[in-house]
Amino acid sequence: MIGSRTVCGVDVPPLGMGCWAVGGPFWAGEQPLGWGEVDDAESTAALRRAFELGITVYDTADVYGAGRSERVLAGALGRHRDEIFIATKWGNVFDEGTKQITGHDATPAHLRRAVEASLSRLGTDRIDLHQLHLGDASPEEAAELSGALEELVSEGKIRAYGWSTDDAERPAAMAGPHFAAVQHELNVLNDAPGMLALVEERGWTSINRGPLAMGLLSPKYTADTRIGDTDVRGDAPEWMRYFHDGRPAAEWLRRRDAVREILTSDGRTLVQGALAWIWSRSPHTLPIPGFRTIPQVEENAAALQHGPLSAGQMAEIDKLLDRG
């Protein structure tokens, strides 16, 4: 069995749902940053199915779809507000009309504007976890934010805060009394031992974005796959390591296929095996796979029934991927 996670003093299931994709398209200039066109009715049905299956953690960001993801989440699950845990992110400046990112702002003044705007879109009076979305913000900027974030906690507008960053040297700069989580990339193909050591030492939660390697840890992606040009993977920015030129990167496909047999053992799908690896990696992990449809939600949630991989399976994966 997989134990629950405690975030901000709240016990939650060890699986959340990542709401990036349900925001639909948005851009930074010509660069697409969404996952292509989506249907809000389908997104709503998928979110409600997740709740029916016992998923209570939903991670979004103000910038996803330039506000659309937060609004869709509110429309789907607003009636269950007291039963769900909402994590959102801030730091990007964007235009809801053009769906363009127009800048970045990590100042305390923008923090307050962002909180109020997210509260309005989410239709709620508090955010359970408010996360800085600028992974490369400076330690000096982060330290300046800590006091403002603690004020928001005391005002009841947020319950706790965190940082979405892959740099294990950064979170300590923001870590006031109510710092609770680091959101960082973690999946079977891309381990993060330094960050996991940090969250375990501090007793924080490791919220895992990219648990399915942006979809690569799904059998539907092959060397012949082509991604549409409104999808961030179709015109992949430099940090999108798993896709190049609108197709899955060959070196990552090879690594995935090297461990496929272990991940799909014991009746698991490839997706479920990838989530099982994360749960075995640390008791502090909370993966947030993305979704668009009810079948995707159901497959993700069913991973909980299989539980984590065994120590032997974990060791074999490390051997196959030539990791220590």
C-alpha count within 13 angstroms, C-beta hemisphere, residue 220: 7
Neighbours of 118 (CB within 10 A): 23
Using CA atoms, how far apart are residues 230 and 240, in angstroms rounded to an integer? 15
Rounded average pLDDT per 10-residue block, the chain, 324 residues = 86 97 97 96 98 98 98 98 98 98 98 98 98 96 96 98 98 97 98 98 97 96 91 90 94 97 98 98 98 98 97 98 90
Is residue 277 exposed (0-12), middle (13-18) or buried (19+ Cβ within 10 Å)? buried
CA 21 from centre of chain: 11
**193 domain-assigned:** yes
Neighbours of 177 (CB within 10 A): 10
**75 domain-assigned:** yes
Residue type, 298: E
CATH of the domain at 204: 3.20.20.100
**314 domain-assigned:** no
Q: Which two tokens stand for residue 196?
A: 């996991």
Taking the model in full, what pTM does it have? Answer: 0.97
| Helical H segments across 17-174, by residue range | 40-52, 68-77, 108-122, 139-154
**260 domain-assigned:** no
| Helical H segments across 53-192, by residue range | 68-77, 108-122, 139-154
Domain containing 139 equals 5-212+282-308
Provide the 3-class DSSP secondary structure of residue 247: strand
Using CA atoms, how far apart are residues 173 and 299, in angstroms rounded to an integer? 38
- Tokens 């991989």 correspond to 309
pLDDT at 1: 66
pLDDT at 239: 87
**143 domain-assigned:** yes
DSSP string, 203-243: T-EEEEE-TTGGGTTSTT--TT----TTBTTTT--TT-TTE
Number of structural domains the chain divides into: 1
Q: Answer yes or no: are the C-beta atoms of 122 and 86 closer than 8 Å.
A: yes
According to DSSP, the residues that pair with 5 across neighbouring strands are 12
- Indicate if the alpha-carbon torsion angle 74, 76, 81, 87 is positive or negative: negative
Q: What residues contact 102, with CB distance under 8 A and at least 6 apart?
A: 93, 94, 95
Q: Tell which residue, 142, 70, 59, has the closest CA to residue 107.
A: 142
CA 46 from centre of chain: 17
Q: Answer yes or no: are the C-beta atoms of 304 and 56 closer than 8 Å.
A: no
**204 domain-assigned:** yes
**101 domain-assigned:** yes
**263 domain-assigned:** no
Q: Answer yes or no: are the C-beta atoms of 135 and 173 closer than 8 Å.
A: no
Neighbours of 81 (CB within 10 A): 14
